[in-house]
Amino acid sequence: MDQIRLLFLGTGAALPSPRRMLPALALILDGQVALFDCSEGTQMRMQQAGLSPARIRHIFISHLHGDHLFGLPGLITSQHLLKRSEPLYIFGPVELDLFLQTVHQVTQHQASFPVVVVPCTPQAEQIWTLEGFSVQSLPLDHGPACFGYRFIEHDRPGKFDADRARDLGVPNNDLRTALIHGETVEWNGRRIRPEEVVGPAQRGRTIAYCTDTRPCENVRILARDADVLVHESTFHPDQEMLAQETGHSTSRQAAESAVAAGCRQLYLYHISGRQDDQSEMEMLESARSIFPATEMPQDYDCYSVLVREPL
Amino acid sequence: MDQIRLLFLGTGAALPSPRRMLPALALILDGQVALFDCSEGTQMRMQQAGLSPARIRHIFISHLHGDHLFGLPGLITSQHLLKRSEPLYIFGPVELDLFLQTVHQVTQHQASFPVVVVPCTPQAEQIWTLEGFSVQSLPLDHGPACFGYRFIEHDRPGKFDADRARDLGVPNNDLRTALIHGETVEWNGRRIRPEEVVGPAQRGRTIAYCTDTRPCENVRILARDADVLVHESTFHPDQEMLAQETGHSTSRQAAESAVAAGCRQLYLYHISGRQDDQSEMEMLESARSIFPATEMPQDYDCYSVLVREPL
């Protein structure tokens, strides 16, 4: 099974700081990159990390606050200059289209490739089936229209062992198809079970990306049984009232959502620049006291998403 | 006289590279900052250089290609978050207003301070008299509407030496005013020349900022007798045809404009990412063979603009 890696290109919030740049997360799967949010400087940090912007096929924008958005025009321009030809799909609030159209109008610059804006609707769940994975979106509770995403790697059927099938004398016809689909067959008076010729199916991994938001039901739906939850953690548990007022979460609330959703790993993300070493350590500890499998990545940290046990 | 410093925040072109980030130049004068162009990442590089974005009062945008523009929304947002209250004046092509209005509309974010867009007109020279300096704009020859700027520090009258005047017995009346204005006066039967009580006038410095452009007459007007010319130098002299086709200059052409304008110092700027160490060295040498006082700054290089001899 292919590796899935999460490369944290920026882990801060609102104001860039030397500690943490503004939010962007690259999900690297099978040679392609899905980008979640695109703050100012994302393309530079990708370059710094040795990740070509040309590999991005899909971009998922949570909402249209500048710290999640303002790297998009430069990224598209650079892809144009790098002679991209394949389409780029950008998911997010519907006003993304006006933003990008105005950028194109004002800069008199038309990308050499199709830029397809796919609007998320605040009314309902949406699921898009893409190449090798699906993505589900649901509105979060931030203030302006803001969407969380659930990235779902497709399950893969077990690998058919042609050598073993030949040794068992299974002919190359409908019997093989039946075995691949999990049926037991009879051939030459012998019962052949699918597991004799088909390897274990591989279970797809799921990654939930939830920022910016107060704790809410849709976070728990998006992160249900997920391998990874990347959740905003703007504030310290002592700042819960501030978080509530501004449409954000504390580290403790992020951990509570991870527990409620039954996910496996939590990454605290979108850390306010008001935090220092001490308060960040306290935030991490408060989350781990509730959900031990918690990390608070730094910019440029990269994590593999482990393959789950076979189905 | 106050120091004027030029801090090169980005010296590259079009595509960011580890060698050179996209163009932006901070002119630091008397505690305030005038910014020339604002590429993606400018606010981060200011922060890196220890220069607060709050000190920017005026921004001069040459043209609306992304590599000169895309740092502007993030910079304005950060100034808002830093509780700026004083107006920010942004000069440049008229479509800047549509760009910023759309950004505000889409992000649902209204700055806490007035953002005043002052359009440059392509029809004529414009001169704005600001606090302590004036700025002149003229259209350049790039393709889309593009403006060069001449920053003109105001001359300062010589300092009146009150002690010396008292020693000479000059009363505190119209005679002093006349002396300050350069007139010789008579008092108690003695002729008093102005230079006896007034120090030398201080000549304002001028800095011309010309990017992106082919060689043209307006560059020579903007840079006439200037202390400093910051001029684009996208291409190597061997790429002159490419420069002509794409609306740019070679290093040699930049040096020829510096000679024609009679300026004192040339900084080569907006260097294409296609150049490497060898070609950059050749570009610099080709310019110096024509105009010896040439430098090719790196990102974060900072230069003082020397005070000129008294008037």
| Alpha-helical regions (H) of chain B | 42-48, 72-81, 96-107, 162-167, 174-180, 217-222, 240-246, 251-261, 277-288
State yes or no: is B67 an active-site residue: yes
Catalytic residue (one of A37, A67, A227, A299): A67
DSSP-assigned beta bridge partners for residue B198: B160
| Cβ contact, residue pair A107, B48, below 8 Å | no
Spatial separation of the C-alpha atoms in residues B230 and B166, rounded to whole Å? 46
- Taken in order of first residue, the domains within chain A and their CATH numbers are 4-156+202-305 (3.60.15.10), 162-196 (no CATH)
What confidence tens digit (pLDDT) does each residue in A9-52 have?
999 999 999 899 999 999 999 789 999 999 999 999 999 999 99
Q: Which amino acid is at A217?
A: E
Q: Which residue has the higher pLDDT, A308 or A67?
A: A67
pLDDT of residue B279: 97
Rg from Cα positions in chain B? 22
Spatial separation of the C-alpha atoms in residues B114 and B88, rounded to whole Å? 6
Q: Which residue has the higher pLDDT, B171 or B42?
A: B42
| Cβ contact, residue pair B103, A107, below 8 Å | no
- The pLDDT of B107-112, averaged and rounded, is 89
pLDDT of residue B311: 62
B42: tokens are: 């400018």
pLDDT of residue A1: 60
pLDDT of residue A287: 98
| pLDDT over threshold 90, residue B200 | no
- Please check whether residue A287 is in contact with residue A259, taking contact to mean a CB–CB distance below 8 angstroms: no
Q: Among candidates A231, A228, A206, which has minimal Cα distance to A216?
A: A231
Average pLDDT value for chain A: 94
| pLDDT over threshold 70, residue B175 | yes
- The pLDDT of A149-177, averaged and rounded, is 88
* Closest chain B C-alpha to A63 CA, distance in angstroms: 8
Average pLDDT value for chain B: 94
- The pLDDT of B130-134, averaged and rounded, is 91
Spatial separation of the C-alpha atoms in residues A279 and A294, rounded to whole Å? 16
Spatial separation of the C-alpha atoms in residues B269 and B212, rounded to whole Å? 10
B169: tokens are: 């017995």
pLDDT band at A122 (very low <50, low <70, confident <90, very high): confident
- Please check whether residue A143 is in contact with residue A232, taking contact to mean a CB–CB distance below 8 angstroms: no
Grouping H, G, I as helix, E, B as strand and the rest as coil, residue B44 is helix
pLDDT of residue A172: 77
B residues 129-158 closer than 8 Å to A (CB): 144
| pLDDT over threshold 70, residue A311 | no
**Alpha-carbon distances of A109 from A77, A101, A113, B66, rounded to whole Å:** 8, 10, 12, 9
| Cβ contact, residue pair B107, A64, below 8 Å | yes
Using the structure block, give the residue that is written with the tokens 């009232």: A241
Lowest mean pLDDT among A61-75, A176-190, B142-156: A176-190
pLDDT of residue B162: 87
* CB nearest B74 (choices: A40, A78, A108): A40
Which of B45, B96, B107, B112 to mutate to probe the A interface, most A CBs <10 Å?
B107
Q: Among candidates B215, B269, B209, B235, which has minimal Cα distance to B63?
A: B209
**In 10 A of CB B183, how many CB atoms?**
12
* Closest chain B C-alpha to A247 CA, distance in angstroms: 15
| pLDDT over threshold 90, residue B240 | yes
**Chain A residues whose beta carbon lies within 8 Å of the beta carbon of residue B98:** 102, 105-106
CA B214-B291-B244 angle, to 5 degrees, is 15
| Cβ contact, residue pair B14, A67, below 8 Å | no
| pLDDT over threshold 90, residue B177 | no
pLDDT band at B1 (very low <50, low <70, confident <90, very high): low
Query: What does the H/E/C string look like for B175-189?
Result: HHHHHHCCCCEEECC
Q: Which residue has the higher pLDDT, B218 or A156?
A: B218
* CB nearest A107 (choices: B22, B65, B106): B65
Q: Among candidates B227, B229, B193, B230, which has minimal Cα distance to B309?
A: B227
pLDDT band at A87 (very low <50, low <70, confident <90, very high): very high
Q: Where are the strands (E) in chain A, listed by range? A: 4-10, 12-13, 24-29, 32-36, 56-60, 88-92, 115-119, 126-129, 133-139, 147-153, 185-187, 190-192, 206-210, 228-232, 266-269, 271-272, 294-295, 302-304
Spatial separation of the C-alpha atoms in residues B26 and B36, rounded to whole Å? 6
* CB nearest B15 (choices: A78, A98, A105): A78
Grouping H, G, I as helix, E, B as strand and the rest as coil, residue B193 is coil
Lowest mean pLDDT among A108-117, A213-222, B145-154, B169-178: B169-178
* CB nearest A14 (choices: B21, B66, B81): B81
| pLDDT over threshold 90, residue A309 | no
| Cβ contact, residue pair B77, A70, below 8 Å | yes
Q: Where are the strands (E) in chain B, listed by range? A: 4-10, 12-13, 24-29, 32-36, 56-60, 88-92, 115-119, 126-129, 133-139, 147-153, 185-187, 190-192, 206-210, 228-232, 266-269, 271-272, 294-295, 302-304
**Chain B residues whose beta carbon lies within 8 Å of the beta carbon of residue A73:** 66, 70
**Chain A residues whose beta carbon lies within 8 Å of the beta carbon of residue B53:** none
* Closest chain A C-alpha to B21 CA, distance in angstroms: 9
- The pLDDT of A170-190, averaged and rounded, is 85
B164: tokens are: 């010396």
Pairing of strands B24-29, B32-36: antiparallel
What confidence tens digit (pLDDT) does each residue in B270-302 have?
999 999 999 999 999 999 999 999 999 999 999
Q: Under 8 Å CB-to-CB from A83, ≥6 apart: which residues?
A: A112
- The pLDDT of B213-237, averaged and rounded, is 98
Spatial separation of the C-alpha atoms in residues B206 and A95, rounded to whole Å? 44
Residue B48 sits at the chain A interface (C-beta within 8 Å): yes
* CB nearest A106 (choices: B64, B81, B108): B64
ipTM value, please give it: 0.91
| Cβ contact, residue pair A108, B14, below 8 Å | no
| Cβ contact, residue pair A66, B109, below 8 Å | yes
| pLDDT over threshold 90, residue B147 | yes
> A98-127: buried (b, 16+ CB within 10 Å) or exposed (e) per residue?
ebbebbbebbebebeeebebbbbeeeeebe
Asked if residue B301 has a cis previous peptide bond (ω within 30° of 0), the answer is no
What confidence tens digit (pLDDT) does each residue in A223-252 have?
999 999 999 999 999 999 999 999 999 999
**Chain A residues whose beta carbon lies within 8 Å of the beta carbon of residue B71:** 40
